[in-house]
Each structure stands twice: as structure tokens, then as C-alpha cells.
Amino acid sequence: MKIFLDTASLKEIHEAAALGVVDGITTNPSLLAKESGDPEGILVEICNTIDGPISGEVVATDAEGMVREGRHLASLHKNIVVKVPCIAEGLKATKILAAEGRRVNMTLIFSPSQALLAAKAGARYVSPFVGRLDDISTPGMEIVADIIQIFDHYDYDCEVLAASLRHPMHVIEAAKMGADIGTMPMSVFTALLKHPLTDIGLRRFLDDWEKVKSQMAASRR
Ligand code: G3P
């Protein structure tokens, strides 16, 4: 499964990029609003840091405006993927942008039927929001499973991007289901690596090695 970070923080992106396992970035207007500086400049710097798909979202709500913004975003850098909300105008815009060869990430997906329509419109990625469904007592992961099952029957050139992942188990469940991509905040990404037994085990190895070094030094005296 490809790992994307769901952030517009250049600090976090530089830190995570150094680990060499981040395949792409998803941003949205809320994430960009948390950062200071010009959003387009931030997007370009993200693209120059991670050589993978970088989602930048349109804010127009009519198809014409979405297409105009999408073309502009895509012109900023070859890595930009145009993020479009899953509404009727978004489907129209996706059809046009996809026909021009631009990659669209259809976002704010909360049902398998929305994902099916997004794929038919030509979206390159669909983003079901797992955590936000869980928030309203609806099992978000089941939507991801349904979308994967539907896409398995057909040849849509569309990847399932599990989004709004809130904890490591969301990531594991998405990977077990075969989601193509999981996007997550830095806190979840960091938690994927951390294990207390790794830290305890490493401490013990290093302490034991220190003992070997002292014994060797003593035997040379
Ligand atoms: O990628 C979607 C993500 O930004 C939404 O996450 O945690 O705000 O539901 P969350």
C-alpha cells in the first residue's frame, strides 16, 4: 500500500520525507489554512520535496470554476493532482479534467455509489473518509471494503485512497483490505513505526555491547 501524508506542513513533510517511505501528499483547504504563507507556494514546495502525487483542492463549487482552478493547479507542477469534491458539478468537472489528461482525486466520498460515479467520470483516485463516517456511528472501513470489491470487477483506472485515517489500526485495516493508498496525519504515520519492545530491545542490545567492549578493554590491560 502506498503511504501518503495528509498535511500541508512543510516541517512535517521534510521530516517524513527523510524516512524514504512517503509516496505522496494530500492537502485540502483546511490543512492549507493552518499554515502561514502562500498556499500555491506551499504546494509547489511540497511537490519539490516529494516526487509523487500531491493533491491540491479546488474551492469553486460550479463545474466551470472547478475546471478553471483545476487547470491552474495542475499547471503549478507536474506532481499536482486536482482534488474535486464529490458533488454533481464535481463529476462534470472531473469528466472534463480527466479528458484533458489531468489526474483528479475525487474527495469527500462517503458511500460506494459515490465512488462508482467518480470512477466512471474518470477520477484517478477516490477518497473515502473513514474517520468522519466513524464519527457518526457508521463503520467507515466497510465503505472502503465495498469500494474495493466493486472496483475489483472492472477496469477503472482509479485507485482507492483511504482517507481520514485517525489511528494505526485504520491503516492496518486499509492495507489488509488491499486499499491502494492510505493517507494519514503525521501523528498516525509516526505511530506506525513506534513499538515499546523495539525501544527496550535496542536499549538491551546497546547495553550488552557496552559490556563486551568493557570486557575486551579489561582483557587488553
Ligand atoms: O484527507 C482527508 C482528511 O484531511 C480528513 O481527515 O481527520 O479531518 O476527517 P479528518
The pLDDT tens digits of the residues spanning 141-155 come to 999 999 999 999 999
26 lines ligand 1 (CB under 6 A): yes
Report the C-alpha dihedral over residues 89, 95, 97, 103, rounded to 10 degrees: 110
Q: Whose CA is nearest to atom 5 of ligand 1?
A: 164
DSSP state of 126: E
Determine the pLDDT at residue 6: 98
Closest residue (by CA) to atom 2 of ligand 1?
164
Regarding the beta carbon of 129 and ligand 1, being less than 6 Å apart is answered yes
CA of 27 to the centre of ligand 1 (A): 9
Q: Confirm or reject: Cβ of 183 under 6 Å from ligand 1.
A: yes
- The pLDDT tens digits for 61-118 are 999 999 999 999 999 999 999 999 999 999 999 999 999 999 999 999 999 999 999 9
- pLDDT score at 181: 98
11 a catalytic residue: no
For residue 221, is pLDDT > 90?
no
pTM, whole model, 2 decimals?
0.95
Nearest Cα residue to 27 out of 105, 128, 140, 120: 105
Q: List, as one string, the DSSP characters of 67-102.
A: HHHHHHHHHH-TTEEEEEESSHHHHHHHHHHHHTT-
Run of H or E including 11: helix 10-17
Q: What angle do CA 86, 92, 95 make, to 5 degrees?
A: 100
What is the per-residue pLDDT across 20-33, written as a single tens digit (0 to 9) for each? Answer: 999 999 999 999 99
CB 186 within 8 A of CB 9: yes
